[in-house]
Structure 1
Amino acid sequence: MALRRLGFLTIGLFDPAAPAAGHETTLGIIELGERLGFDSAWVRHRHLQFGISSPVAVLAAATQRTSRIELGTAVIPLGWENPLRLAEDLATVDVLSGGRLNPGVSVGPPMHWDDVRAALYPDTADAEDFTYERVERLLRFVEGSPATTFRGPEGIVEEWSDRVEPHSAGLRERLWYGGASLRSAQWAGEHRMNFLTSSVLKPEDGRTDFPEVQAEQIDAFRDRHPEGRVSQGLVVIPTDSATADQAERYRAYAAARLPRTRTLQGPGMLFSPDLVGTSAELAEQLSAHAGFRRVDEVAFALPFSFRPEDYEQILTDLAEHLGPALGWTPATD
């Protein structure tokens, strides 16, 4: 299957002593992606870290500096969010973008829950629902279901709506669920969301064959939602135009992370090896990857801690070498 859509994912790291520069770099990377013909740019979500804590705000800025590229979140952990308020923010950014927003979300308790619960939910921590129902609430608000029992005029100038405003038609069809388990893939399909699968999975039976586990999850999603989109997000680093120093650092980065891929980590999590090499080598590896063979859309993840010039080289090689080797054609304005 030829690759139809090529995207990339960035964490947006910044120096805590000078955070503006890091955010500006992230916006510049998104602008570069559009110039290179990428179909989508995605940002990670990192609370209480030195990465993007407010991807919706960052993407609001990106809407004003791009005109074509789709903008996504991979992913917003809903345990930190009020679904009604998030629906308002997403709809606003989607309107600003002209219908280019692709929000990806996930559920579960916030990371380090015991450490943050008193600050995040001081009065309601024990009552908060971190199940799929939280996503269902977001879906209802985005699609225009009532959010209040009151609507109509009040006073001389105020007019109240009973749904989230602005309402952005089409946004519901561009919502994604970021899942790592077979159950998540099935649930996303049953609820007619799109499906984000990444370099981290949670096998049901302790298997460690990453491509086969990923392929099984994609098949389960498509069985329930044949028209739904699936995007794969592996760490893929081409070296075609890399300097010798860059290529050496890239291989060292991948080698340092390789041991975690050999056995299940933590609560049964399975990690994919990072792929580093020339575009010809990478195309051969991906073509043999059972998960990749199930998709025609990817959002390759940029490594966390690289330099801006590294990201520029990687994105350029993805667009000019690896993408075409996989059958992809750059988008044009």
Structure 2
Amino acid sequence: MSAGTTGIRRLGFLLHLDRDQAPAEAFADAVTLFQRAEQLGYDSGWVIQRHFRQGNEHVSSPLVLLAAIAQHTGRIRLGTGVLVLPLEDPLRVAEDAATLDALSGGRLELGIGSGPFPGAWEAFGRDLAERHAAWDAAVDRLHEVLEGTPLNSAGERLHPAGAGVRRRLWQATSSAPEVAEAQAVRAAAAGDGLQLSRATAWNPNLDESAQASLIKAYRSALPQGVEPRVLVSRAVYPDVSREAALEKLAPGARRWQAWQGRGRPEIADASPAEYLDRDRTRFGTPDEIADGLATDAGLAEATDLLVSFPPAAPDLAEHLRLLTATATEVAPRLGWKAS
């Protein structure tokens, strides 16, 4: 085993709250999971944003949820993965983010992206055809607000001040190959971190080698003296054996295949194991998962590994087990040490 070759510096987890449960119960589970992750030494925890339960997710207001989590934790970094910026007012995002950062003692990691769901753009009265232009304008506005630019004729500025959040801003690139590299370079030029989604062989623009190329373009464009921050997300599912993990993953895999496989029989007709392997879900024993991640070209270029557990939708007890096994049995094999 070539464990440790990736040399990941920081370990985080991406929280999917996609079980069929009451919202209050899901949010309480989120607090518990962040508390346990902090005890295990995770460097960060991240929540995604989905409007209207798209993707079966509960979290439409990630900064509100993170504010609650901040009051029950003391060290772990609190991230958004990602907040859909073009559907928001960047000034209001900056105000909420700066307030959360003050409440949490400077722990916010603000990840922003343009979002994958057309229905959300329709509901907010935005034109999806203008997605990339809207993204560029929203990012520029967020930068200037966080940097303390006067906002009106009276010279008033953001309060609380946003300098800390500005230093901890992350941009997610589009999955569209014609703009992804330009967005990565633009993030680097601004001194922002680069946030990449899970790799998948079902889309050649999102496989590990494509991500490695994006990261290299990002690193090359960083201003002198700016430390690279590159976060990649990977789905893992450690268990006593590959067969035991597959048994738990198969129902979720079939759900995802039914959704992603519309018009794509190669996805719809694949076995759950084949689907998961091509979707780059690493499942099996900790050694098997670490071996797979150690040869991941994208992860080799990253500074942060963000683990998640889809397409399973584990209950709280199983989610806690997965967090524990990943931190104690998988990540140390990749060179990570608990905080």
Question: What TM-score does the superposition give when structure 2 sets the normalisation length?
Answer: 0.81
Q: Distance in 2 between matches of 1:216 and 1:80?
A: 29
Q: Does 1:5 align with 2:10?
A: yes
Q: Find the counterpart in structure 2 of residue 291 from structure 1.
A: 298
Instruction: Give the CA deviation at 1:258.
Output: 7.4
RMSD: 3.2
| Aligned length in residues | 308
Q: Is residue 144–residue 164 contact of structure 1 (8 Å, CA) maintained in 2?
A: yes
Q: Find the counterpart in structure 1 of residue 216 from structure 2.
A: 219
**What secondary structure is seen at the aligned counterpart in 2 of 1:112?**
helix
Q: Find the counterpart in structure 2 of residue 176 from structure 1.
A: 170
Counting aligned pairs with the same residue, the percent is 32
Instruction: Give the CA deviation at 1:263.
Output: 10
Q: Distance in 2 between matches of 1:251 and 1:280?
A: 21
Instruction: Pick which of 299-308 and 1-10 moved more.
Output: 299-308
Q: Compared with structure 1, are the counterparts of its residues 131 and 209 closer, same or farther at alpha carbon in structure 2 (3 Å cutoff)?
A: closer
Q: Is residue 242–residue 283 contact of structure 2 (8 Å, CA) maintained in 1?
A: no
Query: What amino acid is the match of 1:236?
Result: V
Query: What amino acid is the match of 2:23?
Result: P
Gaps of 5+ in 1: 152-161, 266-270
Instruction: Give the CA deviation at 1:296.
Output: 3.0
The structure in which a higher percent of residues are helix is 2
**What secondary structure is seen at the aligned counterpart in 1 of 2:72?**
coil
Q: Find the counterpart in structure 1 of residue 76 from structure 2.
A: 69
Gaps of 5+ in 2: 1-5, 268-277
Instruction: Pick which of 6-15 and 312-321 moved more.
Output: 6-15
For residues 1-80 of structure 1, the aligned pairs below 5 Å read 1-13=6-18, 15=20, 18-49=22-53, 50-80=57-87
Which of these two proteins has the greater Rg computed from alpha carbons?
A: 1
Q: Is residue 56–residue 90 contact of structure 1 (8 Å, CA) maintained in 2?
A: yes
Q: Is residue 40–residue 338 contact of structure 2 (8 Å, CA) maintained in 1?
A: yes
Q: Is residue 251–residue 276 contact of structure 1 (8 Å, CA) maintained in 2?
A: no
Q: Is residue 6–residue 40 contact of structure 1 (8 Å, CA) maintained in 2?
A: yes
Question: Structure 1 residue aligned with 2:118, among 111, 115, 118?
Answer: 111
Q: Is residue 42–residue 71 contact of structure 1 (8 Å, CA) maintained in 2?
A: yes
Cα deviations by residue, 1:75-119 (Å, 9 ceiling, x for unpaired): 011122000011000000001111110010013696225741xxx
Q: Find the counterpart in structure 2 of residue 132 from structure 1.
A: 136
Q: Compared with structure 1, are the counterparts of its residues 325 and 251 closer, same or farther at alpha carbon in structure 2 (3 Å cutoff)?
A: farther
Q: Compared with structure 1, are the counterparts of its residues 211 and 178 closer, same or farther at alpha carbon in structure 2 (3 Å cutoff)?
A: same
For residues 90-101 of structure 1, the aligned pairs below 5 Å read 90-101=97-108
Question: What TM-score does the superposition give when structure 1 sets the normalisation length?
Answer: 0.82
Query: What amino acid is the match of 1:312?
Result: L
Q: Distance in 1 between matches of 2:189 and 2:307?
A: 26
Cα deviations by residue, 1:209-246 (Å, 9 ceiling, x for unpaired): 81110100111111112622001101111114x89866
